[in-house]
Amino acid sequence: SAVISQKPSRDICQRGTSLTIQCQVDSQVTMMFWYRQQPGQSLTLIATANQGSEATYESGFVIDKFPISRPNLTFSTLTVSNMSPEDSSIYLCSVEGQGFYNEQFFGPGTRLTVL
Amino acid sequence: SQQGEEDPQALSIQEGENATMNCSYKTSINNLQWYRQNSGRGLVHLILIRSNEREKHSGRLRVTLDTSKKSSSLLITASRAADTASYFCATASLNRDDKIIFGKGTRLHILP
């Protein structure tokens, strides 16, 4: 399994500002995923990030609001732009395991509170 | 839209008892996975069951899959306080677009 770290682990931000979340993996992976988990809710996929190409966003998520970078095979960033209190969530990155089946491993998450 | 629906939404049992959680899904799948999340932290992968498997064991965990009913169950035997967490099922579709879709989760509370 992969070891994944995220920075920051938590943050409190003001409305209208932006926050960039970093995700680092201890091995090279093709695909990285970004999820949002709103308070008391399940995980919703924001986008899939492949190295060297534009991220693929799920319905309801747009690049202007959640720009993603994937500069190499071990690192990705997610920016939450022009934040509002509705963006208060846990943001998690994950990577796919090396096996054939879509087993995913998750980072510890970034808990974001927007005031 | 959510693929999996867990029930119950919340479950409280005495330590030592068995806990059973169920997951139903809507479309054909490649595999189904169960995850645990402690207190809003990162998810821990528990077990993956493939669509051609019916039952799988891992320690105190037993997972079943019934593709005809589009449902799965997770059984935790001899529960412990440390099992208190939220449990999610997640499904991978047949088209192997590498995405997994999460259900709403079951909050399990083990009473001392």
List chain B domain ranges: 5-111
pLDDT at B101: 87
pLDDT at B7: 80
8 A C-beta contact, residue A1 and residue B45: yes
pLDDT tens by residue, A75-87: 999 999 999 999 9
Q: Is the pLDDT of residue B97 over 70?
A: no
Q: Does the residue A60 lie in any domain?
A: yes
**Which residue type occupies B99?**
K
Structural domains counted in chain A = 1
Q: Does the residue A109 lie in any domain?
A: no
Q: How far is B16 from chain A (nearest CA, A)?
A: 27
- Of the partner residues B40, B42, B92, the one whose CB lies closest to the CB of residue A106: B42
Distance in angstroms (rounded) separating the CA atoms of residues A19 and A7: 11
User: Which residues is B5 bridged to in the sheet?
Assistant: B24
**Average pLDDT of the residues in A61-77:** 95
For residue A94, give the CATH number of its domain.
2.60.40.10
**Which residue type occupies A55?**
A
Q: Does the residue A9 lie in any domain?
A: no
> Domain range spanning residue A90?
29-100
- CATH number for the region B5-111 comes to 2.60.40.10
In chain B, residues with a C-beta closer than 8 Å to the C-beta of A111 are 40
Who has greater pLDDT, A104 or B58?
A: B58
- Of the partner residues B31, B45, B104, the one whose CB lies closest to the CB of residue A42: B104
A40 conformational bin, left if phi > 0, alpha if psi -120 to 50, beta if neither: left
Q: Mind giving me the DSSP string for B14-71?
A: ETTS-EEEEEE-SS-EEEEEEEEESTT--EEEEEEEETT-SEEEETTEEEEEETTTTE
Q: Does the residue A115 lie in any domain?
A: no
Q: Is the pLDDT of residue B77 over 90?
A: yes
In chain B, residues with a C-beta closer than 8 Å to the C-beta of A92 are 42-43
Structure tokens at B42: 């990162």
The SS3 call for residue A87 is helix
**Average pLDDT of the residues in B83-96:** 87
Nearest CA-CA partner of B31 in B12, B9, B3:
B3
Q: What is the mean pLDDT of chain B?
A: 90
pLDDT at A8: 97
- Among A93, A104, A105, A113, most B C-beta atoms within 10 A, so best to mutate, is A104
pLDDT tens by residue, A5-57: 999 999 999 999 999 999 999 999 888 999 999 988 899 999 999 888 889 99
8 A C-beta contact, residue A77 and residue A18: no
Distance in angstroms (rounded) separating the CA atoms of residues B101 and B44: 15
pLDDT at B39: 81
